[in-house]
Amino acid sequence: MDADSIFDKQFFAYLSYKFLSAPNPYYLFWQSANVTYNNFWQVPSFIRIISFFGSLWRISLLVQGLRLIPNSVYSLSFKLLKDVGYWDTDVIPEDYRIFFKAFFKTGGKVSVEPIFLKTSMDSPKSKTYFRSLLNKYQQERRWSWGISDDAIYLKWWLTVKEAPFFKKTYIVGNVILDHVLWPVNWYIITISANLIVFLNPVFTRTSLGYNLPRMSGFILTLCLFALFVLIYVDFDMRSKRYQGASKFRQFIFPLEFVLMPISGFFLSSLPALVSHLQLIIGKRLEYKVTDKS
C-alpha cells in the first residue's frame, strides 16, 4: 500500500470477513475503491479534474467483473504471494504484474473480488503550483509505462494453455486496449471529427462529412447529462470527512470543467504519449517518487 493511504474504519473487518468466508481465499486478490480525496481541495484545479474522473473510474471498476485489476492498494494472501515467487523487483507497474503473474502461474484460477469501501490517497502536491503540475505529469508518465508489460502478458496468453481461453483473452485484451487508448482518447473525443474535415476537404461535400461536426457536437452535449450524474456521485462519495472547502466553493466546482480539455491533454494524454514513444525508441524511464507534501 502507499504511505498516504487512509482506509475506511470498516476496511480490515470487511477484508477479514471476505477472506474467512471465501471458498478458496488463496486464489483471490481484494481491491477497494482507490480515490484521491485526501487533499482534493488543496491541489491545483487541473489536477483536481483528473482526480475527479480517476476516482470515479476506479469506483466503477468494482462492478465491472473481470475488468477489475489490482492497482496501488490491494490485498492478497501471503501464501499466494510466496507460491508465485513474490513481486518482481525490476518492473515499474508491479501491481498489474503480480496479478498477471499469479493468474497465469495458477492456470487462471486467480481472480479479484471487490471491497465496496473507499481507500483515500493524496493527489500529487508540491511546494509550488508549477511543481505540483509537474509531479502529476511525471506520475501519469510512470503509470502509462505499464504498457511495457503488455508483451509479457501476450506471451503468457499464448503459452499458458491451462488458463480458460475466454477469461484470459478478456482480461489481457482489456488491459492492452486501455493502454493503447490512453494517449489517443483525448484526440478522438476532442478534435477527431473536425480533423477529418480539415484533412479531407472533399469529405465535407458529402452528406456525412457535412453533418459529422454537428452529430459529434450533439453527442458530446448529451454527455453533459452524464457529467451531472458524475458530479452528484462524486459529491456523495466525498463525505464530510473529505470536503475541506466552503459550500460556495463546492457549488462552483463544476465551473472548473471548462479546463478539462487542457487538463486532459497535458496531465493525461501527453505524458502517456511521451512514455509510449520513449518505450518505442528503446529509452528507459527513470522512477521518480511522487512528491505529496
The domain containing residue 92 runs over which residues? Answer: 6-280
Residue 211 above 90 pLDDT? no
Q: Provide the domain count of the chain.
A: 1
Domain assignment present for residue 152? The answer is yes
Residues 61-114 pLDDT 10s: 999 989 999 998 999 999 999 999 999 888 878 889 999 999 999 999 999 999
Domain assignment present for residue 189? The answer is yes
Domain assignment present for residue 138? The answer is yes
Domain assignment present for residue 286? The answer is no
Domain assignment present for residue 24? The answer is yes
Domain assignment present for residue 90? The answer is yes
Residues 218-251 pLDDT 10s: 888 888 888 888 888 888 888 666 667 778 888 8
Where residue 170 falls among pLDDT bands split at 50, 70, 90?
very high
Residue 293 above 70 pLDDT? no
Lowest mean pLDDT among 134-148, 193-207, 223-237, 270-284: 193-207
Domain assignment present for residue 240? The answer is yes
Domain assignment present for residue 109? The answer is yes
Lowest mean pLDDT among 5-9, 66-70, 161-165, 250-254: 250-254
Residues 6+ apart with CB under 8 A from 58: 33, 34, 35, 71
pLDDT at 201: 79
